[in-house]
Chains A and B, each alone.
Chain A
Amino acid sequence: MAGKTVEVINGPKRSSPRIEAYKAFWKRLSKNKAAVVGGFFILLFIVVSIVGPFLTTKDPTEVMVLNKLQPPSAEFWFGTDNFGRDIFTRIIHGMSLTLKVGFLSVAIGGSIGVIFGIVSGYYGGKIDTIIMRVMDVLLAFPGILLALAIVSVLGGSLQNVIIAVAVFSVPAFARIVRSSTLSVRQLEYIDAVKALGASDFRIIFKHILPNVVSPIIVQATLRIATAVLTASGLSFLGLGAQPPEPEWGAMLNDGRTYMKTAPHLMLFPGMMIAIVVLAFNIFGDGLRDALDPKMKK
């Protein structure tokens, strides 16, 4: 018995099909050069946002009036702004703010959207109608406008930006998860686990969720890009991060006055926003192709 136990629990030596599936996924993903570059940048951003602030020698909010509006140089790599703050340092410190907004808002909005979508698709009927009509209402607003409305009600702060962006991410997730749930729900194994006495909760979270996870991952990656863009937009409008926080959108706004005389004030934050959004978009597209090879073409 003891011998058998060991063999069953550890299994005879063979590479698990799950690991093989991961290998195949990595192979497909690594073939897509753009996605690899996008992924590399995302990784770099994450590392920078964690260790970056410890490596910079300057204070992102330290005002040095003598150095104001310096062009990029060996000392101030990206130049300085109108208060003499080092733009490079501010960009590095702003990285974590940007990623925080992106990841948190998508995590919150995504979770809510996934639950709505899966419940809607699984139960159907009235619940489905109610949830999806609410989602339709949310979708009817242009994203930035909805976020703007929410932030102006809640008040301008980075935290409220996260909430606003989360709210407008919900319907996208709800829709995509609902449609996947609808197709999984009618498969026979759902009937089979029901016939084995599984509860709805168990069916939803144990049997349906793992089967709809790949569109969720793809959607989340692409949504981070949108979230970053929206958050910067709100900060640019003065509704997000408040000065002197080194948020990129807010930096863009600060630099607006000096656009003609010192364009580097806007150039670097703008460039960073573009690169981050691009990286997430490219990586998301690559993920989609790699997770669902049938969908390609």
Chain B
Amino acid sequence: METNVLEVHNLRTSFYTDDGEVKAVDGVSFTLPKGKTLGIVGESGSGKSITALSILQLLASNGKIIDGEIRFKGENLIGYSDRKMRDIRGNAISMIFQEPMTSLNPVFTIGQQISESLIKHQKLSKRDALLKSVDLLKLVGIPSPEARVRNYPYELSGGMRQRVMIAMALACDPEILIADEPTTALDVTIQAQILQLIKELQHRLGMSVVFITHDLGVVAETCDYVAVMYAGQVVEYSDVFTIFKEPKHPYTIGLLNSLPRHDMEQDKLEPIRGNVPNVRDMPIGCRFSPRCPAATDLCRAELPELSKDDKGNDVRCWIYSDNWDGEMEVNVYGEKRIAQGRGVKAVFSD
């Protein structure tokens, strides 16, 4: 039976600035089954990274989780003391960051840095921690790890540093690895290697991975489940096949339409028109409504809930809800769709 190692329910995170409250994350729900990979996709500023930081409670001091649940193996992490969270961080849940060039402390050798969490969480001696660091470097595919362990970060390339970051994150056999755009700053060839490495390690160590990215290619490559985020909310959550074969939310469809495809002729790519709404000035209704080609008055007036369809996938769109009045044809980026409330699937028609 599949168990969910991480369940996030209706997470809301706000930042309090001089200009007022900024709702960076406003309704994020997803589940991560054990041993699987979840992709969180969305454009810049959609709240992906804040979601990840909220899970580890590493928000800046003006940020606060105001509502929701983060269940790690059934236990709600919200309300944990800082001390208890420190035992979770790097031990049960660890994270790798986007920018490998600045993610390592320049004044320590990489061996010292990998050892740090081993000494803290597993109470190893310095010597044992260093030996384990060598094994970890070997695990992440760094050649001659015995020599590299004594290197300083500036002596390594970006790809190598990201491998070191992965080694650090894996040091204590975490159950969840959160990877925040781990390949964005790397060369394409290195990207593929790092993705491959994470996948391989996941299978070998049996951990679950949360992959934060704006690259749908990466998602297709690595993920089992996908949560699509828009303006601080999850708008669609389903398994990776459904997302690519039968995307439901107009935003997801728009995202896919804006990608070049090699399985069909395309004259030109169809972009999503308009801009992401300002966080301080969100639309009253559905946040995607100003840009949505299928938006109705209902969409503009009221925010839809994230609700399950008959396959158990979540979508935040009126078209698929009970409130949608009857059968209706909607035009989503040139694709005719017939939506008829819950239980009736959207039909592709060309």
Contacts and interface: CB of A to CB of B under 8 A. Distances in A.
B150 interface: yes
Interface stretch (A4-12, A27-35, A147-155, A280-288): A4-12
**Chain A: interface size category:** 20 to 34
Contacts, number: 88
A211 interface: yes
A5 B97 contact: no
A140 interface: no
B273 to A, nearest CB: 34
Interface string B201-239: 000000000000000000000000000000000000000
Contact of B107 (A9, A125, A199, A211): A211
A124 B105 contact: no
Interface residues of B, number: 40
Contact of A211 (B94, B105, B134): B105
A8 B150 CA distance: 8
Nearest to A207: B105
B99 A188 contact: yes
Contact of A8 (B86, B120, B134): B134
B95 A195 contact: yes
Contacts of A142: none
Interface string B78-114: 0000000011111100110111001111111000000
Name which of A9, A187, A189, A195 has the most chain B CB atoms within 10 A of its CB. Answer: A195
A136 interface: no
A210 B121 CA distance: 23
A195 B90 contact: yes
A191 B130 contact: no
Interface string A92-111: 00000000000000000000
Interface in B54-89: 56, 58, 61, 86-89
B58 A195 contact: yes
Contacts of A188: 97-99, 102-103
A17 B151 contact: yes
A271 interface: no
B100 to A, nearest CB: 9
Contact of B146 (A7, A17, A187, A191): A7
B147 to A, nearest CB: 5
A192 interface: yes
Nearest to B112: A206
B168 interface: yes
Contacts of A210: 107-108
A17 B58 CA distance: 33
B136 to A, nearest CB: 12
A7 B116 CA distance: 20
A5 B127 CA distance: 9
Given A7-B146, A11-B146, 19 more contacts: A4-B146, A11-B150, A14-B147, A16-B150, A17-B151, A189-B103, A189-B105, A191-B103, A192-B103, A193-B116, A195-B89, A195-B94, A196-B94, A196-B116, A196-B169, A197-B88, A210-B108, A211-B105, A211-B107
Interface of A: 4-5, 7-9, 11-12, 14, 16-18, 123-125, 187-189, 191-199, 207, 210-211
